[in-house]
Structure 1
Amino acid sequence: MKLAQRAMERLEAWPDLSAGPASCGTGRALRSVHSEIVHFHSDHDVDLHLTEGAIERFRGDLQESTAIRLVPGSRWVTVHLDCDTDVDLLLSLVSVALKAHQTGSSPVGLQARSECNFRRVTVMPR
C-alpha cells in the first residue's frame, strides 16, 4: 500500500474530517467544517493547510524536517511521504491544523495565498 493511501485511510477514520475532491482540481481532499485541511496529490506528496500562526509557531521545526517544504506567503505546507515516520508526522500536523482552524485564522488585513502548493513545490528525492 502506498504511503499517501495509508495516511488518507487513517485520516478518513477521524470524525472531524470528510473526504472529497481537492479544490485545486488534483487529487483527493479531507476537510473539516471550517476548511480543506489536506490535499493528497500523489503517492508521496500531500499539501496540508495550516494557519499562518501555526506555521510561525512551528517554523523552526518545519524548516528542519526533510519531509516538509514551505512556500513563502502560503498557509499550506507540502509534506513528502517517503517513510512511515513521514506519515506519523503528517498525522500530527493534521491534528495541529484542525486545532488551528478551530481557534481562528490569520490576523485581519493579512492576505496570504489560499490555494495549496500544488505545482509550486518541487520535491527532490532524499
Structure 2
Amino acid sequence: MTLAERAFERLHAWPDLSAGRPSCGTGPALRSVHGEIVHFHSDRDVDLHLTGRAIERFASDLQGSTAIHLVPGSRWVTVHLDCDTDVDLLLSLVSMALKAHQGQQTQQGQQGERTAPCNFRRVTVVPRDIPA
C-alpha cells in the first residue's frame, strides 16, 4: 500500500470527509460539507485546500517543511509523502483545514471561499533523497 493510499484510507474514515472526484479530474478526492479539502494526485503527491487566512497564519511553518510546497497566490498546498511522518503531517493539516473552512463559513454566515484550482501540474517535487 502506498503512502497516499494509506493516508486516503485513514482520512476516508473521518466522519467529516466523503470521497468524490476532484475538480481537477485527477485522482481521488475527499471533501467536507464546505467544499473540496484534499486531492490525491499520485502515490506521493497530495494537494490540500486551506483558507487564505490559515496559509498566512502558518506560512513560515509550512515553508520550513521539506514535505510542503506552496504556490504563491494559491490556497492549496502540495504535500509530498516520503515517509510515515509526512502522512501524519498531512492528517494534522487536514484537521486544520477542516477547522479553518468551518470557521470561515461561520464568520461569513454563508458558503466559504470558492474552490480555486489546485496545484496539480503547478508544482514539481524533487524527492528528498536526490541531491539538487
TM-score range, shorter chain: over 0.9
Q: How does 1:15-34 map to 2 (within 5 A)?
A: 15-34=15-34
The equivalent position to 2:123 in structure 1, one of 114, 121, 124, is: 121
How many angstroms apart in 2 are the aligned matches of 1:18 and 1:100? 17
Structure 1 unaligned residues grouped into runs of 5+: none
How many angstroms apart in 2 are the aligned matches of 1:75 and 1:61? 15
1:27-51 CA distance string (max 9 Å, x none): 0100000010000000000000000
Aligned residue in 2 for 1:52:
52
The residue type paired with residue 121 of structure 1 is: V
Measured on the aligned residues, the alpha-carbon RMSD in Å equals 1.6
Kindly indicate whether the alpha-carbon contact (under 8 Å) linking 1:50 and 1:97 is maintained by their aligned counterparts in 2.
yes
What is the aligned residue count?
A: 122
Kindly indicate whether the alpha-carbon contact (under 8 Å) linking 2:36 and 2:115 is maintained by their aligned counterparts in 1.
no
Stretches of 4+ moved more than 2 A in 1?
none
Aligned residue in 2 for 1:94:
94
The residue type paired with residue 36 of structure 1 is: E
How many angstroms apart in 2 are the aligned matches of 1:112 and 1:71? 17
Q: CA deviation at 1:7?
A: 0.1
Moved more, 112-121 or 35-44: 112-121
Kindly indicate whether the alpha-carbon contact (under 8 Å) linking 1:74 and 1:112 is maintained by their aligned counterparts in 2.
no
Q: CA deviation at 1:21?
A: 1.1
Seq. identity, % = 79
Give the TM-score normalised by the residue count of structure 1.
0.93
Kindly indicate whether the alpha-carbon contact (under 8 Å) linking 1:73 and 1:112 is maintained by their aligned counterparts in 2.
no
How many angstroms apart in 2 are the aligned matches of 1:113 and 1:23? 9
Structure 2 unaligned residues grouped into runs of 5+: none
